[in-house]
Chains A and B, each alone.
Chain A
Amino acid sequence: MSDDGGRLAPGQVSGLSRRALLTGAAAALPVVLTACKGVQALGSPPPPAPDVRTLEAAITAERAMVARYAEALRQVRSGAHAAVPGVLQAIQAEHAQHLTQLESRLTRPGGASPSPSASASASASPAAGAAPSLGSVLSGLETAEATASHRYLAQLGGLPPSLAQLFASIAASEATHVPYLHAARRGR
């Protein structure tokens, strides 16, 4: 298994290699990384495959989540419940890990920029100037986490096995952020 096994790049996910991925990968579970063959060295890159766009959208959403937690930390630091900043930092660190792993699955020949079509809904932060309450900051984050988790789960179809596993694991992680935030709000 090569280091690059399982990475996605535009043009690499031909129908043939996809079938090879899907049929050959389930035996050695749950770590399934299969090399993609079929390098296209010449010519302009073809449009990104659907799963590459899915991956790019996930990367954009994770970046927005990291930024959203940075904003939330700025909002709650003054006079917040003692445990809350630590919880927010822990969750933000997990989103940063999600981002790192997602980015590691993406190779972009020619340095193409990421698709701008990715959803930015997770990045919606409260209007500057307002001073939101701790409760509203945390409940906003809970909603964003639940939405993000469901979005990963809705995208499992058509992904190569190893990427589907990563999406499912991240979806589970982000689902657990909801009770973790809730407990912080109530002072577990």
Chain B
Amino acid sequence: MTRSPATMAALQAALQAEQAASYGYGIVGAHLGQGSARQAVATADWTAHLAAAEKLSSMISTLGGTPAPAAVAYQLPSPVRTAADAVTLAWTLEDAVARAYLGLVALPQLTLRRFGADQVRAAALRAEAWRGSTQAFPGLPATSLRS
């Protein structure tokens, strides 16, 4: 696999999104009922994001790059005070993760495309579980859709 600037940039962007999601799910879990089913889902999703971040770090290292370290804290898109806020944050995080992985899908290497697409799908499935509904174009910004 070649280490092109585009490949590195896309992998680092996906890593950054996964790190932000890992941080965010800590907030999500803290605002859901202790021992509740929803908190268990948040914990499982948090674990998935940690594992994905680790995988991306390893892919970056294998290509000779240096994985960007996670930030100590991340700016939340909106304040989280209630369980409903936490659920909204969860799907917002998943949307951002899906968007970042679509960057990998644009790369020429088929293995990275497939990996990216599998992760977009995984993020969309987690988002569906939080939202209770589906989206026509997970990860694609409205500006990239033709009217």
B13 near A97: Cβ-Cβ < 8 Å: no
Interface residue tally for chain B (C-beta within 8 Å): 44
Answer whether A157 and B113 are a contact pair too, CB < 8 Å, given A27-B6, A31-B141.
yes
What residues on A are CB-neighbors of B127 within 8 Å? Answer: 176
B9 near A26: Cβ-Cβ < 8 Å: yes
B117 near A175: Cβ-Cβ < 8 Å: no
| Majority secondary structure of chain A interface residues (helix, strand, loop or mixed) | helix
What residues on B are CB-neighbors of A22 within 8 Å? Answer: 108
CA distance A105 to B139 in the complex (A): 18
B108 closest partner in A (C-beta): A22
Q: Is A188 an interface residue (CB 8 A)?
A: yes
Q: Which of B107-138 contact A (CB under 8 A)?
A: 107-108, 110, 113-114, 116-118, 120-121, 123-125, 127-129, 132-138
Interface residue tally for chain A (C-beta within 8 Å): 43
Q: Is A149 an interface residue (CB 8 A)?
A: yes
**Which residue of B102, B124, B132 is within 8 Å of A165 (Cβ)?**
B102
B140 near A26: Cβ-Cβ < 8 Å: no
Q: Is A164 an interface residue (CB 8 A)?
A: yes
| Interface membership of chain A positions 128-170, coded 1 if the CB is closer than 8 angstroms to chain B and 0 otherwise | 0000000000000000000001000100110001101111111
Answer whether A176 and B125 are a contact pair too, CB < 8 Å, given A94-B134, A169-B137.
yes
B140 closest partner in A (C-beta): A169
What residues on B are CB-neighbors of A157 within 8 Å? Answer: 110, 113
A91 closest partner in B (C-beta): B134
Answer whether A29 and B128 are a contact pair too, CB < 8 Å, given A153-B117, A166-B140, A180-B134.
no
**Which residue of A93, A101, A164, A173 is within 8 Å of B138 (Cβ)?**
A173
B125 near A101: Cβ-Cβ < 8 Å: no
B133 near A98: Cβ-Cβ < 8 Å: no
CA distance A31 to B113 in the complex (A): 15
**Which residue of A31, A172, A179, A180 is within 8 Å of B144 (Cβ)?**
A31
What residues on B are CB-neighbors of A27 within 8 Å? Answer: 5-6, 9
What residues on B are CB-neighbors of A176 within 8 Å? Answer: 124-125, 127-128, 134-135, 138
Most chain A beta-carbon neighbours within 10 Å: one of B123, B128, B129, B139: B128
Answer whether A32 and B106 are a contact pair too, CB < 8 Å, given A169-B140, A171-B121, A172-B124.
yes
Q: Is B103 an interface residue (CB 8 A)?
A: yes
Most chain A beta-carbon neighbours within 10 Å: one of B4, B5, B136: B136
Binding site for B on A (CB under 8 A): 22-23, 25-27, 29-33, 90-91, 93-94, 97-98, 100-101, 104-105, 149, 153, 156-157, 161-162, 164-173, 175-177, 179-180, 183, 188
Q: List 8 A-B contacts (CB under 8 A).
A: A25-B106, A29-B102, A156-B114, A161-B105, A169-B139, A172-B98, A179-B128, A179-B129
